[in-house]
Amino acid sequence: MVQHIHPLQLKDWLEAVRGHGNPVVLDVREPSELAIARIKADGFELITMPMGVIPPRLSELDPDQPVACLCHHGARSMQVANFLKARGFSHVANVTGGINAWSAQVDPSVPRY
C-alpha cells in the first residue's frame, strides 16, 4: 500500500524510513514545470524524472530506497507511486497535494502555478 503524506509530514516520513536506505523525493513533473517551481533537497536526495520516462528508466531507481513521489497536485505522483509499489519498491509514499501544497504549507517562496 502506498502511503499518503502531506508536505508537512515529509520530514517525519523521511526520518521513519531512513533505516531502509537514503530516502529519495522523486519529482515526476515535466521540465517546463520544473522551470517554474522546484523544492530544495533538505535531508533527502531529489531526483527529477518526468512520469512518462519512468518505465524505460526504472533501472535508475533503487527498489530498496524509500521513495516519496511528488508532482503538481498529487495525481501523477500517485500513479507513479502505485507503479513503483507494483514493481517491488518497498517504501513508497505520495506527497498529497504536490508542489502546490508544498508552497502553501512548507515554503511559500516556491511559486504556485
Which residue in the list 71, 78, 80, 81 is annotated as catalytic? 71
Q: What is the predicted pLDDT for the residue at 31?
A: 98
> Where do the structural domains in the chain lie, given as residue ranges?
3-105
- Identify the sign of the CA torsion 76, 51, 33, 43: positive
The helix (H) or strand (E) run that includes residue 3 is strand 3-5
pLDDT at 5: 97
**Architecture of domain 3-105 in CATH?**
3-Layer(aba) Sandwich (3.40)
Q: Is the dihedral of CA 67, 84, 103, 36 positive or negative?
A: positive
Give me the pLDDT at residue 108, please.
96
pLDDT tens across the length of the chain (113 residues): 899 999 999 999 999 998 888 999 999 999 999 999 999 998 899 999 999 999 999 999 999 999 999 999 999 999 999 999 999 999 999 999 999 999 999 999 999 99
Tally of CB atoms within 10 A around 2: 19
71 annotated active-site: yes
